[in-house]
Amino acid sequence: MGFDPETGRYGRGGRKRGNGLLLLAAFALIPAGLVVLPTTILIGVGMLPTVVAYVIDQDPEKSAPITVGAMNFCGVMPFAIGLWQAGHTLPALMPMLRDPVTWFFMYGAAGVGWLLYYGLPPMIAGVVVMRDETRIRTLDTERRALIEEWGPDVVAKTPDPADPKAAETKPAAEAAG
């Protein structure tokens, strides 16, 4: 029982709050999952790529499981709706789980989520770079037009008043006069 720098208290450190709420949610979800067992099984096996994305994602924001999970859920839901329409029984679920097309769509949708997760950031970065390069070219063209109209003195560097070194040196116009 020493001093815990995280909590700033003496005693047992490291105990996290909120475990009771997690335990309560588990006790509430287990009976609910048993009531809708066929859907629970379908969603449980269909959403495994999302669980994997959650486990391997090191980012504290957990953006991979959000992206993969959203697409994975879109791949699972048509089969869940089909299960509900077929009577929501285990015998109605078994043909779905034996069909490779079901697995292809559920896990393929998760694959699309991974493509979005890894593909969109480089594409967006490329678009931003292209936009910035275009803006730089436009500003450079405008600068050249100003130089032609006003002469090269228009681009003379002026000292920054916040810079202490610039305050020490006088501009060339003041030194000459």
**102 burial class (0-12, 13-18, 19+ CB within 10 angstroms)?**
buried
pLDDT, residue 155, reads 77
pLDDT, residue 26, reads 80
pLDDT, residue 1, reads 53
For 149-161, the pLDDT digits (tens) are 888 887 777 676 7
For 129-145, the pLDDT digits (tens) are 999 999 999 999 999 99
Mean pLDDT computed over 121-133: 95
User: CA nearest 37: which of 74, 91, 82, 105?
Assistant: 91
Mean model confidence pLDDT for the chain: 85
**153 burial class (0-12, 13-18, 19+ CB within 10 angstroms)?**
exposed
What phi and psi values does residue 134 have, to the nearest 5 degrees? -65, -40
User: CA nearest 75: which of 38, 101, 52?
Assistant: 101
For 15-40, the pLDDT digits (tens) are 555 678 878 888 888 888 888 899 99
How far is CA 15 from each of CA 8, 11, 26, rounded to the nearest angstrom?
Answer: 13, 10, 20
Q: Give domain limits for the chain.
A: 18-154
pLDDT, residue 157, reads 73
For 45-87, the pLDDT digits (tens) are 999 999 999 999 988 888 999 999 999 999 999 999 999 999 9
